Amino acid sequence: MKFFWKIYFSFTVLFLLAFGLFGTWMIQMTFQQSYQKALKDGEWDNRMYQLAFETSLSSMNPETLSDNMVQVIAVTVTQNLSDSGNVYRIYNSSKDLLYERTSCKIDGTEPLSVLSQEQPCSYLVKRAGDTTWLLYACRSTVGGKTYLLESLTNISDIYQERESYYDWYTAVMMGMTVMVTLLVFFISHMLTRSVTSLSQTARRFTEGDLSARAAVSGSDEVAELSADFNRMAVSLSDKIEELTMQAKRQEDFTASFAHELKTPLTSIIGYADMIRSIDCTREETMDAANYIFQQGKRLESLSFKLLELIVAEHQQYQYHYFSVRKLLEEAQILTEEKRKERNISAERVCDDGLIFGEKDLLISLFVNLLDNARKALPENGEIRILGKCRRNGYFLCICDNGCGMAPDEVTRITEAFYMIDKSRARKEGGAGLGMTLCSRIIGLHHARWKIFSRQGKGTVIAIHFPEGEEIYDKED
């Protein structure tokens, strides 16, 4: 059963049950009040009847008092009572009827006494046909003689009143049932509308519509559930997109890696086959061997870069404080020979600060950044290294006045095997992995970097290294 129908039937049954029980209780309470009042009135009437009878008998001589005289006295007494339509009876001690006064015919009733030997007074409710009678009886002893006095009161009106209330309430209940069912139907629809919408959104999401989001209105539990679903959907969408991008990157990485291997291997195989199958001159053999050597070095560089990437991703490192100046000096020394080939200068203006990290990774980072700057520069180009020590860490900028990059190239520069100028990169022995490695090293040190570049103007790489405690906090 759907949640809508559960709410609908639950509210309808609960409301009708509560309303029915309350109405029945109210009618019954009203009836009980009328019933108790009728009992009190019947008792009072019987007491007055007894008092008047005993008062009349007390003035008579008990020895001369006969049943006929009792009848005469009873007529006189009952005439003085109010004409309420009550029935009055008098019995002697043998329960023989001496007198009965009634102004109406009573069908289905027989004169009786409701008194036992121990009870001085008692009552009984008896139904005769369509009429309900209240019988009150009392024992009266005068002059040594005992009489039984009965008064019968018609209390059918209170029962008829109760029946009329029930009839009226039944009609009201039928009307209320129609109104309540419509009202509960509307309320159930309002309450479950957001749940239905959330269910439809969940189905759309499972069918592949990752942009599906639930509508959030109000601040109740369903709204919180919808908001939680949206947060979950956003998280899942991001995860799925991330996995998709990761799969695409792996696919691109595999394709690029295969392509990078294919070109030098094709050259190596071709020149090796030429040396093997053709009688070449010494000069031709040397040229072929030199080309094979260059392509082999390129493959070696590619394998080393891949190894560095794998090691940087999975190895556990011990971090220590290192002088920025010493790290940059060592990186400059390692890149100095190739810079001299094109007379490229490297000016360093840095504060003497400390960086918390792993030495080999930091040197690899600086070497790759300086080498990339060198590759982008023409002869007589300039590289500037600026460093500032601040309270929240160390800020480092590596600037060059080289060819620069387009905005779309800046966003892809850290992708594996991505090369802006492939012919230049291969000529320089690059494999398109240097900036990828730099990005991994930056991440391992919880640093932040940003690349600013304009074509024909140059490139600026800004890096912020945090304090050592920040790295520990993030790793913990």
In terms of Cβ atoms closer than 10 Å to its own Cβ (0-12, 13-18, 19+), residue 230 is middle
Residues in CB range of 108: below 8 A, 6 or more apart: 128, 129
Which is more confidently placed, 108 or 174?
Answer: 174
Looking at the predicted structure, is the pLDDT value of residue 20 above 70?
yes
Query: Which CATH fold would you assign to the domain 3-163?
Result: Beta-Lactamase (3.30.450)
Express each pLDDT in 115-158 by its tens digit. 666 667 888 888 777 788 888 888 888 877 888 888 888 888 88
Sheet holding 131-142, edge to edge: 97-101, 87-91, 145-154, 131-142, 121-128
Question: Residue 38: CA atoms inside 13 Å, Cβ hemisphere, count?
Answer: 24
Average pLDDT of the residues in 185-193: 77
User: 12 or 309: whose pLDDT is higher?
Assistant: 12
- How do residues 316-363 score in pLDDT, each as one tens digit? 777 889 999 999 998 888 888 888 888 888 889 998 888 898 888 888
What are the extents of the domains in the chain?
Answer: 3-163, 213-313, 316-475
Instruction: Give the architecture (CATH level 2) of 316-475.
Output: 2-Layer Sandwich (3.30)
344-355 residue pLDDT tens:
888 899 988 888
